[in-house]
Amino acid sequence: MVRAFVSRLFRTSSFRLAVQSASLSILGAVLVFGIVYQAAQSTVRDALETAVVGEQTDIVSDLSDDHKGIIASLRDEMIAAPGAFFTLSGPQGQFLAGNLRLPPALARGWTGWRTLDRGDGLTLPARVMAIHGRTLRLAGGNTLFVAANASDLYALNQLIAHAFLVVFGIILTLGLAGGLLVARGTFRRMEAITATSREIMQGDLSRRIPVSGRGSEFEQLANSLNAMFDRIQILMENVRQVSNDIAHDLRQPLARLRDHLELAGQATREPATQAAIEDAIAQVDTALGIFAAMLRIAEIEAGARRRDFAPLDLSALLGELAETFEAVAETEGLHFAAAIEPGLRMVGDRELLAQMLVNLIENAFRHGSAGAWVEIAAATTRPGAFSITVADRGPGIPAAEHARVLRRFVKLDKSRHSAGSGLGLALVAAVVELHQGRIRLADHRPGLKVGLEFAAMA
């Protein structure tokens, strides 16, 4: 869980922005250190090279045509400049004179200015970390090497490298820490918005995003979203109220109409008239059933039935329904199979759950083909949760229509002329949402499989 939280934190735009800012700061530090390094190194190197050129000039000015004159001049300069390093090498790099022995391969390949240290095979005094010098080709193929103590240049390089690493580490640490702090604050604000939006999607239209009144960008966004939620709540309440008022107000006239039709049927002896009246009563009953279903769905969506929640044995409820529908299936020549795991318990409204299951099973019977197979199963799917599936082998529902058929009054074209009001699956979805469960429609190949998942009672 902590790993997932950190992973989501790293993916936030605020953390990426902080990392980008830290990267720019590091780039700026690299440029500054580069400029400072070049300036300081140039100053130290120029001083060393000036000293080396002076030593070489003094030696060359005293040279004679024989080697003894060169060696003597070199020895005199070694006494005059005890801190400098001198080597006279032959054409093959062999050592001839001086206070520094160079490996022959290095002596043969050294041209121009170079900075050398012990890593190049030199044996230097303990106090000397590096030398900086150049070669001078003499008549006869000999080479004169003159170098100065470059410990200050070496120390400068080490100091700047260490300082850069320290500054780099500080900038990177502060950048990442600042990014994490900013990302954490942003993450918390977004989590509050996401949690509120999720609760509103689950049906609690009264929820609002908390605001602190600081006037930040997130506060402005939260205020705008809250205003939008207020408007949506008003519109939804108006729509529900209109639907509920229509359903409620029409029930009484329809009930009175039904009573009058029954009285009219009792008063007449004409078979044709009685048949017409009975058909009219059946149509009125259908309308009353639709209005009753609409009011029941509205009551469920409003959450009013949560007051009737209580612990219940769902396995026992499913067993009772299975016995009932087994008898119905046997009478109507249908095939019904049930596989129910014992001991499934949850907290909920027993009456609503029973009506939900009856709707699903009746739909499966109604839309199945002749001799239809209907299967119901209930089992634990993971710790703390179980599923209920109702499957048939009828024509099924196209995958593109799965979400739409869960809405009110939706009937597919091929079922327009079959019994039903288009409210059965809408009521099922409302009951599932009331119990904070999940519903999923899938292809049973052939037929339809409706899967429900609920939290088990601990």
| Angle value at C-alpha 143, between 138 and 148, nearest 5 degrees | 115
Mean pLDDT, to the nearest integer, of 429-455? 86
Strand partners, 117: 130
For residue 171, what are its two tokens?
Answer: 């900038």
Q: What is the pLDDT of residue 121?
A: 80
For 47, which DSSP code? H
Answer whether 0.85 is exceeded by the pTM. Answer: no
Strand partners, 45: none
Q: Other C-beta atoms within 10 Å of 458: how many?
A: 6
For residue 186, what are its two tokens?
Answer: 């942003």
278 Cβ partners below 8 Å, 6+ apart? 265
Q: What is the DSSP string of 410-429?
A: ---GGGTTSS--S-HHHHHH
Judge whether 217-301 and 304-455 match in fold.
no
Query: Domains of the chain: which residue ranges?
Result: 1-202, 217-301, 304-455
Q: What is the pLDDT of residue 341?
A: 92
Q: What is the DSSP string of 85-128?
A: EEEEE-TTS-EEEES-PPPHHHHHH--SEEEEEGGGT----TT-
In the CATH scheme, what architecture does the domain 217-301 have? Orthogonal Bundle (1.10)
For residue 291, what are its two tokens?
Answer: 């209005």
Using CA atoms, how far residue 166 sits from 177, 374, 397, in Å, is 16, 73, 66
Q: What is the pLDDT of residue 247?
A: 61
In this predicted model, which residue has the larger pLDDT, 315 or 125?
A: 315
Q: In what order do the strands lie in the sheet with 448-455?
A: 335-340, 373-382, 385-392, 448-455, 438-443
Q: pLDDT per residue over 47-56, tens digit each?
A: 888 888 888 7
Nearest Cα neighbor of 12 from 153, 262, 181, 139 is 181
Q: Is the link from the previous residue into 446 a cis peptide, with omega within 30 of 0?
A: yes
81, 83, 84, 86 alpha-carbon torsion, rounded to 10°: 90
Nearest Cα neighbor of 438 from 398, 396, 385 is 385
In this predicted model, which residue has the larger pLDDT, 457 or 429?
A: 429
| Residue carrying the six token digits 């907290």 | 347
Strand 345-348 and strand 385-392: pairing?
A: unpaired
For residue 23, what are its two tokens?
Answer: 């990267």
In the CATH scheme, what architecture does the domain 304-455 have? 2-Layer Sandwich (3.30)
Query: Residue ranges of the alpha helices (H) in 302-349?
Result: 314-332
Q: What is the pLDDT of residue 378?
A: 92
pLDDT band of residue 417 (cuts 50, 70, 90) is very low
Q: Is the pLDDT of residue 19 over 60?
A: yes
Three-state secondary-structure class, residue 210: coil
Mean pLDDT, to the nearest integer, of 140-163? 80
Q: What single-letter amino acid sits at 333?
A: G
Q: pLDDT per residue over 373-398, tens digit each?
A: 888 999 998 888 999 999 888 888 88
Q: pLDDT per residue over 249-278, tens digit each?
A: 666 777 777 777 777 777 777 778 878 888
Mean pLDDT, to the nearest integer, of 346-372? 81
- Stretch (H or E) spanning 252: helix 217-267
For 307, which DSSP code? G
